[in-house]
Amino acid sequence: MKKNVFLLMGFAALLLVCLSSCSKDDDDDNGNSNKGNSIVGGAWHKEDVKQMGDNTLHYYDVYNDDGTMREYLVWFDDKDNFTSSEYKDYDWKIEDIFYSIKQKDEPTFTSKINFEIKDNKFYFFSAVDNTPVLIATRVDLSSIQNYIDKATPAL
């Protein structure tokens, strides 16, 4: 009988250890709702390319899973040669089906927009008619490393 009690107590102790949560970081998001959003993480090239005189401006966003994002503004000359780059820092989060962003150190998130990531495309949708208003394509971070290394803070 004692043997069965000890076996039962050992089994109960083992069950408690196996069912216990091993991580507290599920509860510590400090107001950031980016848990499990690694599909956003990485580099994206926005299709919104602007022609300004003889120069072309491309936008690249690099998302981190910690809720930070750096937007790179990359300039090319009329021969498509890289000339310069600058960056701006943002915070982002995802709640339900909405993507929100704010400039770094701003007190509140300034936009909240419906989004979707599908086939290496990042779609942002109009609140009016739900059509894509901005599309970004995933790029390899190493392909834009030169722009990142030479970037200066935007004014």
Q: Strand pairing partners for 71? A: 61, 88
pLDDT tens-place string over residues 129-140:
999 999 999 999
Q: Judge contact between 99 and 115, C-beta under 8 A.
A: yes
Q: What's the pTM?
A: 0.74
- Asked which of 5-9, 47-51, 95-99, 149-153 is least confident by mean pLDDT, the reply is 5-9
For residue 50, give every residue at least 6 positions away whose Cβ sits within 8 Å of its Cβ, in sequence order, or none: 56, 57
pLDDT tens-place string over residues 92-134:
999 888 999 999 989 999 888 999 999 999 999 998 999 999 9
Residue spans per domain, the chain: 33-153
User: Is 33-153 a CATH 2.40.160 domain?
Assistant: no
Grade residue 37 by pLDDT with cuts at 50, 70 and 90.
low
